[in-house]
Structure 1
Amino acid sequence: MKKFWITCLTITLVFATAACSYHKPNRSEPDQIVIEQNNEKIVLRFATWDTGDALKIQESIAGKFEEKHPFIKVEVEAYGDEFDQKLTASFGAKNPPDVMYMWNLPAYFHYLEPLDNFINRDSFIDMNDYYQGLLNQSTMYRKLYGMPAGFTTKVIYYNKDSFDAANLPYPKEGWTWDEFKSLAKKLTDPANGQYGFGVSQEPDTYDLQGIVWSNGSSFISDDGRKIAGYMNSPETIESIKMLADMVQDKRALLVGGKNQKSGEENFKTGKIAMWESGMWPLEEFKKANINFGTVEMPAFNEKPVKGVISSSAVSIAKDSKNKDLAWEFVKFYNSPEVIKMRTADLPVRISLVKEMNTEQDPLIGPFYKMLEGSNGTPAYLLTENWDQVNQNLSAAINAILLGQDTESLLNNAVMDSEKYLGQ
C-alpha cells in the first residue's frame, strides 16, 4: 500500500484552554496538512475488550500511531468483560470513544458512522484485499460499519493419539459427514467413557447455521422475511437430526451443560476425540501438550462446505468529534505494520496472508479454508426481530438433542415465530 502523508484532515475543534490553527505546507509537500497548537494534543479515544498481553499490543499500536501523528494522544480504554455495558452507557450519554472494537452490529450500528464515504474518497484503501465474508459481517443494510480486525471460523479439532490408538487415518480436507459419523462410531467406547464427538448441551444456533448452510438450507430467507420452508426445510431437519442421532446412539457426548465439563475440557482429557470450535482453544490445547490437528468441517456429499464467522472490526462513533482523525487511526490499524503486530488476531488482508504464509501453518490453514466458503449472511443480520425467533428455535433444538422429534419441533418453532416477521 502506498505510504500516506496526511497528517491531519479537516478537523473542527473547540479548546477551552488552547487555540488551534492550520496552514498548508510548502509546494514541496503538496499533500501534507500541518497543525499548530499551543501545547495541546488532540485526544483520540479507542475502546477495546482486550486484557493482559493483548491489551499491551493495543497500547503499543496506539504509541506507534502517536509517533506518526505527534499532535494526537490516543487514549486506550480497556473495558474488558464490561465492554458492552460501558459501550452502551457511553452511547447513551453521547460521549462514546472515537474508535472502538465492534462485534454486535444489530445492537450498535445506529450509533456508528458508516465508512463507505471514507473508503470511496480514499485511494489508499483496496477493499479487494479483504475477504468478502469478513466484509459481510461488518455490513448492515448495504452500509459498512467497521473495518475487519480479526476473525475465526469453525473447524474440527481431532486428537491424533485417539486416532492412532484406534488405528484410524486422520481426517483430511474434503471429508464428508458420512465419514465423520463412521469415525465417531469407531472412536466411541462408552464403557471406558470415550466418545467420538462432543455436542453442546445448549448449542448456539449461530454456530449451527454453518452445518445447515452446508446442507443447502438456512434458518431464514435471504431477504429476512420468511422462515417457513427454511427453518423447517428437509435439509435443516436432516442437519439437526444428524447431531441428535449421534447423541442418542452414543457416538457423541453432550457437553457444557449444568454440572458438565466443557467441550474443551473433555477434549483435553481425551474423553472426546473430535470437537468443533474456533481459534479460541488452540493455544490452550498447545500448552496442554495435546497431540492434535485441525481440519475443515465435513461436507454433505457433493455440496460445498460453508461456515460461520466470528469476527471483530474497528468502528467509528457517529458522535465522534474527530471522525477524520478516527478514520486515519482505523486505516493505520489495518496497515501491514499493525496487522503484523496483532499476533492475537488472524490476518484479515489477503495480501498479508500470502506474504506471511499464514495459510501454510497446518493448524491455521483450515480456518482460512473455511473462510473461503463462509460468505453467508447470519440470520441476526437479516431481521431486527431475530432474538424473538431465536428463542423458539433454540428451545426446539435443545429438546431435539434430548431425543424429541426434530420435524415437529422445528415446525412448531416456525409457527410460533412467524408473527415476529410480520407474516
Structure 2
Amino acid sequence: MTSLRCGRAFRLLASGAGAALVLSACMGGTTDDGKDAAAGYDPKANVEITWWTGQPQEQEKVAEQLAAEYHTAHPNVTIKVSPGAPTTDDLLTKLSAGFTAGSYPDISYAYGNWAGDLGASGKAQDLTSYVNDPSFQWNEMPAAAREVATTNGKVIGIPALVDNLALIYNKKLFDKAGLAYPTDNWSWDDFRAAAKKLTDKSTNQYGTAYSVSGSEDTTWHLWPMLWQHGGKILDGNKPAFNSDAGVAALETLRQIAVDDKSMYLDQTDEKYAPLFNSGHIGMMLSGPWALLELKEAKLVYGVVDLPGYNGDHQTVSGPDLWVLFDHQDVNRAGATRDFAKWLTSAEIDPKWNLAVGNLPLRTTEKDSPEFANYVKEYPGGQKFFDNLANAKQARPTLPGYEEMSRNVGDAIAKVLQGQAEPKAALDEAAKKSANSIGS
C-alpha cells in the first residue's frame, strides 16, 4: 500500500497526532481579518512558491514534471518542489514547526482529517470565494471532498485526491468455498455469513480483516456502518457516535470478530492487505489505493459496494487536500491559487491522479482517454469511481477530530479483541472526547 501514497491508505497520524493538538492549542484559532490573501494579485509578477507534495519517489517525479510544465507556461512563477517530509504522515509535524518558526510552504498536501486543525492554525488561505467562481467548476468535485475542504464555513483547501471504501473479494477463495460472489445488494448479514464460511483456521485463512491499531484506519471503517444505521458522528460539537446506531454498527463487527472468529485482527494496519493479496483473506474493505498492489499480485478479484443496512449502502470517502497558506504576499497567494486551479483542472488532473493510480478528481474526467486507460489497467477502478455517489457524508472537519478519532479507534480495538462491550466502549470514547471537539 505504501507504494501508492507512502502510507496514505490509513490516514495515520502517528507522529502528527501531537502536532494537531499543538496547531489548534497554540495558534488559538483563525486570525483571518476578512481580507482576501490574493487581493490585488499581479499575474505577471515574478514569484517563487514552495510546494510540499507529500509524495513518495515515483509520484514526486510526476509532480516535478508538472511543476516544470506550469513554469514553461508561466515563466514568472518558479515552483520549488519537495516531498516536504520523510513521509506524508510527518507533514503535519513539519507544518506545525514551520508555523512556529515562520517557515512553511505556500501549498502542502494534507490528509483530509487534518483540515480542522489546519483551518484553526490561522495560516490557511480562505478560498471560499475563489472556488465558488464559476470558472473553477467547484461542483465537478464530489460533495464529500468539497465538504472536507471546508472547515468553520470556510474553504481552506482544494481536493487533491478522492477515494472511498468498497468490498474487494478474492474470487478464487469464493469459488473454492462454493459461495456466490458478493453483489452491490449485500447486507451485513450476507457479509458475516460469507466471512464465516471463508474462514479456515487450519490454513490460517480468514473471511475478512480489520485494523485494531486504534488509528484512523480503525475508526473510519466504522463510520459508514454508523451512517447506514441512521447515526451521526457528532451532534453539533458533541460526540454522538455512541448512539444506538453506533452500538449496533460495532456489535456487527464484534460478532464477526469475537463470536465467529472469522476476522483477522491487524495490530499494525500494514498486514491485512498483503495477506489479502496472498490469498489468506477472502474479503477486504478497502479503497482504490489497493488496486496497484492487487495488479502486481496478479490476484483475480472483484469489487462491489459496501454491504448495507436496510438497503443503505453509504460509504465513507477520505479526500485529501492541497492546503494553500497565507504569507502576507498577495502575489505569492495569487500564484499559488492559479497553480492549484491548473493542477486540479479536468485537463491536468489526469496527468497527476490517473497517472499514479488514483481516481479522477472531477466528474468530467470520466470521458477522458486517460480514464479509459485507468479502468482498463485497474479492474475495479470504475466501481470505485461510481461508488463516490454513495459517499453522502463526510468526516467532521472541526478541530479536535484527531483526538476523538483515536479515542474511538481504541474503543473499537478493545471490542474486537473481546476486551469490552460496544456500548461501554463507545460511551467511554465519547466521554474522553467531549471537551476536545471544536476547541
TM-score past 0.5 threshold = yes
**Contact 1:190–1:250 (CA under 8 A) maintained in structure 2:** no
Deviation by residue 1:66-109 (Cα, 9 ceiling, x = unmatched): 11111221111222414333322322222322222222212212
**Residue in structure 1 matching 2:152, options 121, 130, 141:** 141
Q: Secondary structure at the match of 1:65?
A: helix
Distance 2:380 2:361 in 1: 17
Seen in structure 2, the aligned counterparts of structure 1 residues 416 and 116 have a Cα distance that, compared at 3 Å, is closer
Structure 1 position 118, deviation (Å):
2.3
**TM-aligned CA deviation for residue 157 of structure 1:** 1.5
Closer, same or farther: CA 201–59 of 1 in aligned 2, 3 Å: same
1:348 aligns with 2:361: yes
Bigger shift: residues 162-171 or 89-98: 89-98
Partner of 1:368: 385
Which residue of the partner structure matches residue 236 of structure 1? Answer: 246
Residue in 2 that maps onto 1:212: 226
Whether the aligned pair in 1 keeps the contact of 2:47 and 2:335 (CA below 8 Å) is: no
Give how far 1:61 is off. 0.8
Amino acid at match of 1:70: P
Residue type of the alignment partner of 2:118: Y
Deviations 1:193-233 (A, max 9, x none): 22211122235213311221122112322x22x33xx3222
- Whole-Å separation in 2 of the counterparts to 1:100 and 1:261: 25
CA distance in 2, matches of 1:324, 1:406: 49
- Tell me, yes or no, if the aligned pair for 1:156 and 1:295 is still in contact at 8 Å: yes
Residue 251 of structure 1 deviates from its aligned partner by: 4.7
Rg larger for: 1
* Alignment partners' CA distance in 1, 2:242 and 2:149: 28
SS in 1 for 2:241: coil
Q: What is the rounded CA distance, in whole Å, between the counterparts of 2:167 and 2:328 in structure 1?
A: 42
Instruction: Report sequence identity in percent.
Output: 24
TM-score by length of 1: 0.82
Cross-structure match for 2:49: 44
Q: Using a 3 Å threshold, how does the CA distance of structure 1 residues 316 and 406 change in structure 2: closer, same or farther?
A: closer
Q: 1:299 to 1:114 in 2, by over 3 A?
A: same
Give runs of aligned pairs for residues 177-256 of structure 1, distance below 5 A: 177-203=188-214, 204-221=218-235, 223-224=236-237, 226-227=238-239, 230-256=240-266
Distance in 2, matches of 1:288 and 1:101, equals 29
| Matching residue's letter, 2:234 | I
Report 1:374-389 matches (<5 A). 374-379=391-396, 381-382=397-398, 384-389=399-404
Runs of 4+ in structure 1 over 6 Å off: none
Q: Where does the alignment leave 5 or more consecutive residues of structure 2 unmatched?
A: 1-37
CA distance in 2: counterparts of 1:285 and 1:372, whole angstroms: 24
Is the 1:336–1:352 contact (alpha carbons within 8 Å) kept by the matching residues of 2?
yes
Instruction: Supply the RMSD in Å over aligned alpha carbons.
Output: 2.6
113, 118, 142: which one pairs with 2:125?
113
Q: CA deviation at 1:416?
A: 4.6
**8 A contact 1:115–1:144 mirrored in 2:** yes
- The counterpart of 1:62, out of the listed 35, 60, 67, is 67
Q: What letter matches 2:339 in structure 1?
A: F
Distance 1:242 1:291 in 2: 28
Q: How does 1:165-180 map to 2 (within 5 A)?
A: 165-180=176-191
Cα distance 1:352–1:402, how it changes in 2: closer, same or farther (>3 A)?
same
Give the Cα separation in 2 of the matches to 1:144 and 1:89.
23
Instruction: Provide closer, same or farther for how the CA distance between residues 411 and 336 of structure 1 changes in structure 2, counting only shifts above 3 A.
Output: closer
Q: Which residue of 2 aligns with 1:394?
A: 409
For 1:301, the aligned partner's letter is N
Q: Match for 2:362: what amino acid?
A: R
Letter in 2 for 1:290: L
Distance 2:324 2:229 in 1: 37
Residues 1:58 and 1:189: Cα distance change in structure 2 (over 3 Å): same
Q: Which amino acid aligns with 2:71?
A: E
Name the CA shift for 1:341/1:391 in 2 (closer, same or farther; >3 Å): closer
- 1:318 corresponds to which letter in structure 2? D
1:414 aligns with 2:424: no
Instruction: Give the counterpart of 2:92 among 84, 88, 110.
Output: 84
* Counterpart AA for 1:317: F
**Paired positions, count:** 381
Which residue number corresponds to residue 323 of structure 1?
333
State TM-score, norm by structure 2: 0.80
- Quote the residue 1:283 is aligned against: 292
How far the C-alpha of 1:360 sits from its partner, in A, is: 5.9
The answer to whether the 8 A contact 1:214-1:306 is kept is: yes
- Distance in structure 1 (CA, Å) of the matches to 2:431 and 2:104: 41
In the alignment, the residues of structure 2 paired with residue 158 and residue 370 of structure 1 have an alpha-carbon distance, to the nearest angstrom, of 16
Per-residue deviation, 1:244: 1.1
User: Pick from 289, 300, 308: which aligns with 2:316?
Assistant: 308
Q: What code does the residue aligned with 2:54 have?
A: W
Checking the alignment, whether the CA contact within 8 Å between 2:157 and 2:321 is kept in structure 1 is yes
Which stretch shifts more, 272-281 or 247-256?
Answer: 247-256
- Matched to 1:113, the amino acid is Q
Whether the 8 Å contact between 1:157 and 1:274 is mirrored in structure 2 is yes
Q: Matches of 2:156 and 2:116 in 1, distance apart?
A: 11
Counterpart in 1 of 2:308?
299
Deviation at 1:388, TM superposition (A): 4.4
Counterpart amino acid of residue 126 in structure 1: Q
Return closer, same or farther for 1:419/1:63 CA change in 2, 3 Å cut-off.
Answer: closer
Relative to structure 1, is the Cα distance of residues 46 and 178 closer, same or farther in structure 2, using a 3 angstrom cutoff? same
